[in-house]
């Protein structure tokens, strides 16, 4: 084949290093087959572990970002030594920059983790508000109705 023919669209396939055929001298004898399988499994396991770890980092990063958005409210809180250690751990690991960020993150995660509980609390609280409104309406209407009857 001359250069013109190759340039016109013929493709000359070159074997990739990993696709090279084994010569009879390199053919496996059956002794190292288990080791090769173990190496492949280790590679796959390492890859999966890395992907899982990376996914956790991404998830953690998203959670931290959500927790730190819209932090316009200031809350002063006293914590015990154990809670303070956990706040400081996040700072030491450079996950957060301050105790305030650490606290905001942990509060946000606690709310997310306990969302079913907060949903129940919200439902019951709404019922309490409605009952109070009914009671106020009854108390305010009671004396006015009596005056109208007299």
| Residue 30 DSSP SS3 | coil
Alpha-carbon torsion, ordered 10, 15, 19, 22, to 10 deg: 130
Distance (Å) of CA 133 to CA 47, 122, 127, 145 = 60, 17, 10, 18
| Domain segments of the chain as ranges | 42-113, 114-144
Burial of 132 (0-12, 13-18, 19+ CB in 10 A): exposed
Q: What is the pTM of this model?
A: 0.48
Each residue's pLDDT tens digit, 5-50: 444 444 444 445 444 444 455 555 555 566 666 666 666 667 778 7
Q: Does 107 have pLDDT greater than 60? A: yes
Each residue's pLDDT tens digit, 51-77: 777 676 667 677 777 766 777 888 899
Residues 6+ apart with CB under 8 A from 86: 102, 106
Find where tokens 């932090």 sit: 71
Give CA 63 to chain center in angstroms: 6
Distance (Å) of CA 20 to CA 4, 12, 117 = 28, 15, 61
């Amino acid at each position: 084949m001359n250069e013109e023919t190759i340039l016109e669209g013929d493709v000359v396939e070159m074997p990739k290093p990993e696709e090279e055929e084994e010569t009879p001298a390199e053919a496996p004898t059956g002794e190292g087959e288990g080791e090769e399988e173990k190496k492949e499994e280790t590679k796959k396991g390492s890859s999966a572990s890395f992907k899982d770890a990376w996914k956790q980092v991404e998830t953690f990063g998203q959670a931290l970002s959500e927790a730190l958005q819209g932090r316009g409210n200031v809350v002063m809180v006293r914590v015990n030594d154990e809670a303070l250690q956990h706040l400081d751990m996040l700072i030491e690991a450079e996950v957060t920059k301050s105790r305030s960020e650490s606290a905001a993150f942990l509060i946000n995660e606690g709310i997310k983790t306990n969302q079913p509980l907060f949903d129940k609390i919200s439902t019951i609280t709404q019922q309490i508000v409605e009952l109070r409104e009914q009671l106020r309406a009854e108390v305010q209407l009671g004396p006015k109705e009596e005056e109208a009857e007299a």
